[in-house]
Structure 1
């Protein structure tokens, strides 16, 4: 149990969907070899998929949701690398346009190819990003990719969303939820996490905690307006004081994400 608690501190996947497929898998996390995980959006409210049409979630072939994602082109979805590794490509599904998991709204598509940085090993080591190239295009708005670092200024209000747990150790949400969290400075985040890497990561959250992403939210978007600045990656528990959520810093990977998304465009556009 101690090992599972350690993983929960760092990753944010939902394990239910991936236990059989990947026993090593663990915030929104479900899979990674050595760090930790978390549940649902804590301290948030139900969000409308029409307001955030780029928000998607990932399931295994049996429909078990374990991570989130974000549409970056009609035929490509960005997510966390530890989510992409949680389930084999053949069993991975992307569900788009569905606010309530209990309905059949929207589209469910399979994945034909996956890109992630060759150096990825663990969310706590950075490079926690992947692009899922879809088997068919989606008719939903894609999120914008950041053009510079201006949106990462300390105190910038960003919105995180997902279908993960709504409390540390609690149940997962059936509906899309979102919460507003401020960007935390690199120096402050480094004081919370000794392994914090400002090149590949960014932190967001309140000093007192209370609002955060959680297990099942991994891979989901952190946006300013409709611009994707972060991907839910890891953290220490959910919404704990002095332990902000850690996100993949999208600006570092924007060119690669755009290139991989564009490589899918020719297949369907």
Structure 2
């Protein structure tokens, strides 16, 4: 595997919090930013964007509310986690805020085919113990494969680092990036890119991307959840677009969890 997931390590998050009360120290593995090259926004504008945190509410990944008690995130964010170790925070624009809604997690479903050896099948669904009072977002169905047209404008969101191996953004950030053709992404990543599982987005020159701490957050196409921030080679590097879970492939699995 030549690329790296975009989650932060729990140990480094805690070290960062102790040192500066700024959540989101990068992990030892590289990934894209609190959206590198993006702009600040709010959870009022994107009420379905969730913080995935530890029990002390230190954010380490993102998630997307697709039903009042269901949050879609990345499988790699949930490796080693339990329902006791994870919280979901909604309606909180700033990491250092105390507003919004904090929910415990009653069930964690991780795609059983996920393996960190390939970063494929990177999808998980969290079931919350209490409902979130925020508007969920629609997600793609299995038949919506046409949304992944090369050049289509995708929106990314997160609290991740603002540059590779940098500091996280206290405020939610967003950016738009064009989808990259499968052939171009394969040129960048070789056999690590699996078109049936993944979709790439980014500028040829780099400069705009997701990064460490953005893992699990949404990639939106036409206002619909179509991808999950997954992995990439560094953050915002020229020739290395961000890689996202191709959600149409896993829509049926997600729906089974949402409706359970």
Q: TM-score, normalised by structure 2?
A: 0.89
Shift, 1:40, TM fit: 2.4
Q: Kindly report which structure 2 residues correspond to 1:189-200, keeping only aligned pairs within 5 A, or say none.
A: 189-194=185-190, 195-200=192-197
- The superposition leaves residues 67-117 of structure 1 with CA deviations (integer Å, 9 ceiling, x where unpaired) of 000001100100000101153321101011111112112101111111122
Shift, 1:30, TM fit: 6.0
- Sort the Cα spacing of 1:123 and 1:176 in 2 relative to 1 into closer, same or farther, 3 A: farther
- The superposition leaves residues 140-188 of structure 1 with CA deviations (integer Å, 9 ceiling, x where unpaired) of 1111111311210000001000000001111011110001000111101
Give 1:94's aligned residue: 88
- Match of residue 124, structure 2, among 130, 145, 150: 130
Give 2:18's aligned residue: none
When the two chains are superposed, the root-mean-square deviation of aligned CA atoms in Å is: 2.2
- Match of residue 180, structure 2, among 179, 184, 188: 184
Distance 2:103 2:26 in 1: 21
* Consecutive aligned runs of 4 or more in structure 1 exceeding 3 Å deviation: 16-20, 28-31, 35-39
Gaps of 5+ in 2: 15-24
C-alpha contact 1:13 1:38 (8 A) present in aligned 2:
no
- Sort the Cα spacing of 1:10 and 1:63 in 2 relative to 1 into closer, same or farther, 3 A: same
Shift, 1:249, TM fit: 0.5
Shift, 1:118, TM fit: 1.1
Give 2:226's aligned residue: 229
Count of aligned pairs between the two proteins: 248
Gaps of 5+ in 1: 1-5, 21-27, 264-269
- Sort the Cα spacing of 1:83 and 1:30 in 2 relative to 1 into closer, same or farther, 3 A: farther
Are 1:69 and 2:63 matched, yes or no?
yes
Distance 2:117 2:72 in 1: 15
The secondary structure found in structure 2 opposite 1:53 is: coil
Distance 1:86 1:248 in 2: 20
Distance 1:240 1:179 in 2: 16
Q: TM-score, normalised by structure 1?
A: 0.86
Higher strand share: 2
Distance 2:180 2:26 in 1: 21
The secondary structure found in structure 2 opposite 1:252 is: helix
Q: Kindly report which structure 2 residues correspond to 1:195-234, keeping only aligned pairs within 5 A, or say none.
A: 195-234=192-231
Give 2:159's aligned residue: 163
